[in-house]
Structure 1
Amino acid sequence: MEHDVLLQMTDICKEFPGVKALDHVSLTVKRGTVHALMGENGAGKSTLMKCLFGMYSKDQGQILLEGKEVDFKTSKEALETGVAMVHQELNQALKRNVMDNIWLGRYPKTAGIAVDEKKMYKDTMAVFKDIGIEVDPRRIMSTMPVSQRQMVEIAKAVSFHSKVIVFDEPTSSLTQEEVEHLFKIINMLRDRGCGIIYISHKMEEILRISDEVTIMRDGTWIATKPASELTMEMIIKLMVGRELGSRFPEKTNVPGELALEVEHLSGMYSDLEDVSFKVRQGEIIGLAGLDGSGRTEVLENIFGIATKKSGTIKLHGKEVMNRNARESIKNGFALLTEERRATGIFGILTIRENTVISSLKKHLKGSFYLSNKSMREDTDWSVKAMRIKTPSQDTQIRSLSGGNQQKVILGRWMLTEPEVLLLDEPTRGIDVGAKYEIYQLIIDLAKKGKIVIMVSSEMPELLGVCDRILVMSGGRLAGEVSAKEATQEEIMTHAAKYV
């Protein structure tokens, strides 16, 4: 059937100081279709969507919604006109409950004064039923996992009767089962005539769910093609402008002697129970498992930001206490967190400040002064080593793409010269080119004798980068496999053991 045009963005331009973020980009979304938007980090995908959604004002170009020109000044205006966006980095009122988050700014009132809690509950349940999600409307947001909070965000978009819904990296923190549910919801919305814009780096997903694919590179439009005509290789070539021989670099690290021993680790406030494993010098260990299996908790307990109930950690045969982050850093541990927007970056600070913040001691001149020269040198090393795309060291980190923010944080930790690197979803929401660079960095670090323990939801990534994979299930260690010989099925079997 012929789909009519729902949204048309033509010749959109947007400049930031020192960066041309969008250069005459056009996008046409038809009613009742899923239109994927792809490109490396920094290609301009999120910027284009922010111009649509009223978060940025475009410098030039035109946006037509159902044939009428629109120019939203705020995201509230966009929502009320029928354009919704489900963000990758969720921006929610975490201390409030689910239904407050959905109806914020448009509460149903009794007699126009008091909030009608009953109606709000009923309306929330109706939306949830409509899209088949089970969440208690009275639950406080901060007590829910990221995946459920995301479902609330989707429900909010649906409650506005949106015509166009943008999904920005919606599956980056979802389990396979949750991804299937999300796809069901997206297909249902598509069948109702919604136009879905889907931003993702996961090629398999894109090819499975999209009708059309638009590819951007360095702020420009490269191609729009039917998904059925594309292959993964073609997409990568269009995205990076070069052939990417393989998804993973060659493994050149050779594990040496026994270096780290974790014995009977149990968490005080988590399900983590009696986890023991050993890691050799220069070895990359993967932690696999479903959401809530205890993967992240293992890292947080080792790093001392979660209280452990019992267990010992030994580095080179000597017990380390790691009672808090400062102590852990002193003992040679570093942790890259999954929620980088909330716990990783200082958004209003510059690249340089974000880079040197964990290693300020080495830049002290006398007792009070920080040496600008040495901070610049270290940041310069980090920008080059991590291949960070930025106009200058003085750029605010929040204006960088997600992948480049991730590289800044990795660079920050490298400058503390850690022996043990704990990485939680190091490539979450990062494009294929930047992923390759981060894999290379991880392998190079292991080659220098560093110990790397990484959590990832992407099994091909664990199999491609790690030496061994430990599989968590229900807070316990359910199995261990060699990355060279294991299959995804084998990992999944272990992952389901104690669920």
Structure 2
Amino acid sequence: MKIEMTGIEKAFGTNKVLQGVNFDVESGEVHALMGENGAGKSTLMNILTGLLKKDAGSIKVDGQETTYASALDAEHHGISFIHQEMNNFPQMSVIDNMFLNKEIKNKIGLMNQRKMKKQAKSYLDQLGSHINVDNKIADLSVGEQQMVEIAKSLMTDAKFIIMDEPTAALTENETNILFKTIRDLKKKGVGFIYISHRMEELWKICDRVTVMRDGISVNTYRTQDVKEEQIVHDMVGRDIGDYYPKRNPDLGPVALKAEKLSGNKFTDISFEVHEGEILGFSGLMGAGRTETMRALFGIDKLKSGKIYLHGKEIKFKDPNDAIKHGIGFLTEDRKSEGLVLDQSLEDNIALPSIDGFRKRLLIDQKSEDEMVNMLMKRLTVKAQSAKVSASSLSGGNQQKVVLAKWVGSGSRILILDEPTRGVDVGAKKEIYELMNQLTARHVAIIMISSDLPEVLSMSDRIEVLYEGKQMGIIDAKGATQEQVMKLATGGK
């Protein structure tokens, strides 16, 4: 089986998203689709699977002109799409999500819960995931939700599987299991379209790569014949240099200190972060990194422990209290926690700072507009204007909007949970440079990241957690991935 897309064009109003894209994939291969956020990758896949209609071009399946009426129609014809932003129902159980509109019924028409449970566990077991299928989706971590989405795709017996940032929220072990599953399915003739911003994954799992830039397919290569520098150049239209800017921290006094914090999934966590410092938090999924920060910020309840802000003990009643004390939190799940998706970029960015624009009972719209436009330009947010909704942007640009929100609020302590998840290589470097600029102005940053090279390159010190316990704090200078992973897996 072969899919061929030729000369695909698509515009939304005057915004030309695709301007002539060529792409093909065959059974039994993994073909990567690379490009900066907003390059048109997801739009191209939405056209293939019937979510959007093309304006021009041709789609052929085994030489026959083909158009799918909907995503369900594409799925019935063997094409499954695992979206970056997960498509599930949070208040329903894992098993109900997996079998939605695919329920197994017994002879008298009742749902066969026992058989569905057995099958659900079987598909999750293939991925090395031991999630309780009776749990609500809302109770799962982002990484666990991603594993459910992948398992749902395996259930369809797809001939082609489209994966949009499948490893963004997975641990290294889960990623390795996923890659083994992909290799096993390749041997059975399943083809994959693999969208990722993790450059190192290309040479681990992909056979070919097509690079897109500004709605055009720039080049297609066999991965064994191309180097990373060429792909990056094709993506951004220029040489980008080193990913990670050099850190030359000028540390000030301790900005925030935590003593023996205990809460949901973590116990006796202590650390301090200085003005001008990036303190990295590393660990495997379930280590308690995010839970620690949520409790510190006042989202979840802190069972015990003390927090000191600039030397004074303080207790945050709720997130608003933390924000008033100069703390910002870029959460792991930007879609449900970081943004109001149906609101404009302007409203999202100005939200934590809105009181600063009040003149008596009215909002100083001119001052607000100036700040928002300045931040969008500074963080290179790609959008038609500040008036468009946050839901209309690509994932990476949504991440920049969340960052702009906290930069604009004047936060002196920033908690960044997976700040570059789902962000392209060009935008990553921009975010890293912004972090350096902020710490140069004595902002203290706590960065949670599952990307070990990112942790090692951008942190000044690294706190490692394992199963809710603190394993140690190490100096990032001279530290190795092996040292961090040893601690992250419970080693001394």
- TM-score, length basis structure 1: 0.95
Once the two structures are overlaid, the 10-residue window that deviates more, 113-122 or 186-195, is 113-122
1:488 aligns with 2:484: no
1:359 aligns with 2:353: yes
Secondary structure in structure 1 of the residue aligned to 2:174 = helix
Give the structure 2 partner of residue 469 of structure 1.
462
Distance 1:131 1:255, change over 3 A: closer
Distance 1:103 1:68, change over 3 A: farther
How far apart are the structure 1 equivalents of 2:341 and 2:368?
19
Aligned partner letter, 2:21:
V
Give the structure 1 partner of residue 33 of structure 2.
37
1:349 aligns with 2:343: yes
Give the structure 2 partner of residue 436 of structure 1.
429
1:17 aligns with 2:13: yes
1:446-466 deviation digits (Å, cap 9, x = unpaired): 110111000001111111111
Give the structure 1 partner of residue 150 of structure 2.
154
Task: Give the one of 87, 90, 94 matched to 1:94.
Answer: 90
Offset at residue 55 of structure 1 (A): 1.9
Secondary structure in structure 1 of the residue aligned to 2:75 = helix
1:162-214 deviation digits (Å, cap 9, x = unpaired): 11100100001111100000001111111111110001111111111001111
Give the structure 2 partner of residue 336 of structure 1.
330
Offset at residue 390 of structure 1 (A): 1.2
1:22-60 deviation digits (Å, cap 9, x = unpaired): 111111101100000101111111111111122222222
1:416 aligns with 2:409: yes
Give the structure 2 partner of residue 307 of structure 1.
301
Once the two structures are overlaid, the 10-residue window that deviates more, 215-224 or 53-62, is 53-62
Task: Give the one of 12, 29, 43 matched to 1:47.
Answer: 43
Check whether the contact 2:258–2:272 (CA below 8 A) recurs between aligned residues.
yes
Check whether the contact 1:253–1:444 (CA below 8 A) recurs between aligned residues.
no
Aligned partner letter, 1:431:
D
> What fraction of aligned residue pairs are identical, expressed as a percent?
41
Task: Give the one of 371, 388, 393 matched to 2:381.
Answer: 388
How far apart are the structure 2 equivalents of 1:469 and 1:314?
20
Task: Give the one of 443, 448, 458 matched to 1:455.
Answer: 448
Give the structure 1 partner of residue 227 of structure 2.
231
Task: Give the one of 240, 257, 265 matched to 1:271.
Answer: 265
1:78 aligns with 2:71: no
Check whether the contact 2:127–2:147 (CA below 8 A) recurs between aligned residues.
no
Offset at residue 113 of structure 1 (A): 3.6
Offset at residue 428 of structure 1 (A): 0.4
1:218 aligns with 2:218: no
1:186 aligns with 2:171: no
Matches within 5 A, 1:366-381: 366-367=360-361, 369-381=362-374
Structure 1, unaligned stretches of length 5 or more?
Answer: none
Aligned partner letter, 2:277:
E
Aligned partner letter, 2:103:
Y
Offset at residue 250 of structure 1 (A): 2.6
Secondary structure in structure 1 of the residue aligned to 2:267 = coil
Secondary structure in structure 1 of the residue aligned to 2:244 = coil
Secondary structure in structure 2 of the residue aligned to 1:263 = strand
How far apart are the structure 2 equivalents of 1:65 and 1:156?
24
Aligned partner letter, 2:325:
N
1:248 aligns with 2:244: yes
Once the two structures are overlaid, the 10-residue window that deviates more, 425-434 or 371-380, is 371-380
How far apart are the structure 1 equivalents of 2:129 and 2:301?
33
Task: Give the one of 62, 65, 77 matched to 1:66.
Answer: 62
Check whether the contact 1:57–1:73 (CA below 8 A) recurs between aligned residues.
no
Offset at residue 329 of structure 1 (A): 0.4
Aligned partner letter, 1:45:
K
Aligned partner letter, 1:102:
M
Offset at residue 144 of structure 1 (A): 2.5
Matches within 5 A, 1:163-202: 163-202=159-198
Task: Give the one of 257, 262, 278 matched to 1:261.
Answer: 257
How far apart are the structure 2 equivalents of 1:251 and 1:148?
33
Aligned partner letter, 2:450:
S
Structure 2, unaligned stretches of length 5 or more?
Answer: none
Offset at residue 138 of structure 1 (A): 3.1
How far apart are the structure 1 equivalents of 2:319 and 2:121?
41
- TM-score, length basis structure 2: 0.96
Once the two structures are overlaid, the 10-residue window that deviates more, 174-183 or 88-97, is 88-97
Offset at residue 96 of structure 1 (A): 1.9
Aligned partner letter, 2:421:
R
How far apart are the structure 2 equivalents of 1:137 and 1:329?
37
Once the two structures are overlaid, the 10-residue window that deviates more, 64-73 or 456-465, is 64-73
How far apart are the structure 2 equivalents of 1:76 and 1:31?
20
Offset at residue 445 of structure 1 (A): 0.5
Once the two structures are overlaid, the 10-residue window that deviates more, 448-457 or 346-355, is 346-355
1:200-259 deviation digits (Å, cap 9, x = unpaired): 111111111001111001111001111111121121111111112111113243112222
How far apart are the structure 2 equivalents of 1:405 and 1:460?
23
1:445 aligns with 2:438: yes
How far apart are the structure 2 equivalents of 1:285 and 1:134?
32
Distance 1:133 1:424, change over 3 A: closer
Check whether the contact 1:474–1:498 (CA below 8 A) recurs between aligned residues.
no
Q: What count of residue pairs does the alignment treat as equivalent?
A: 492
Distance 1:68 1:129, change over 3 A: farther
Check whether the contact 1:203–1:232 (CA below 8 A) recurs between aligned residues.
yes
Give the structure 2 partner of residue 109 of structure 1.
105
Secondary structure in structure 1 of the residue aligned to 2:38 = coil
Secondary structure in structure 1 of the residue aligned to 2:242 = coil
Once the two structures are overlaid, the 10-residue window that deviates more, 118-127 or 307-316, is 118-127
Check whether the contact 1:175–1:457 (CA below 8 A) recurs between aligned residues.
yes
Distance 1:405 1:125, change over 3 A: closer
1:478 aligns with 2:471: yes
Secondary structure in structure 2 of the residue aligned to 1:274 = strand
Offset at residue 127 of structure 1 (A): 4.0
Aligned partner letter, 2:375:
S
Aligned partner letter, 2:232:
I
How far apart are the structure 1 equivalents of 2:278 and 2:139?
32
RMSD: 1.7
Aligned partner letter, 1:36:
A
How far apart are the structure 2 equivalents of 1:71 and 1:82?
13
Check whether the contact 1:18–1:391 (CA below 8 A) recurs between aligned residues.
no
Check whether the contact 2:255–2:413 (CA below 8 A) recurs between aligned residues.
no
Once the two structures are overlaid, the 10-residue window that deviates more, 298-307 or 441-450, is 298-307
How far apart are the structure 2 equivalents of 1:237 and 1:112?
61
Secondary structure in structure 1 of the residue aligned to 2:266 = coil
Give the structure 2 partner of residue 324 of structure 1.
318
Distance 1:494 1:193, change over 3 A: same
Offset at residue 118 of structure 1 (A): 3.4
How far apart are the structure 1 equivalents of 2:95 and 2:190?
23
Once the two structures are overlaid, the 10-residue window that deviates more, 104-113 or 238-247, is 104-113
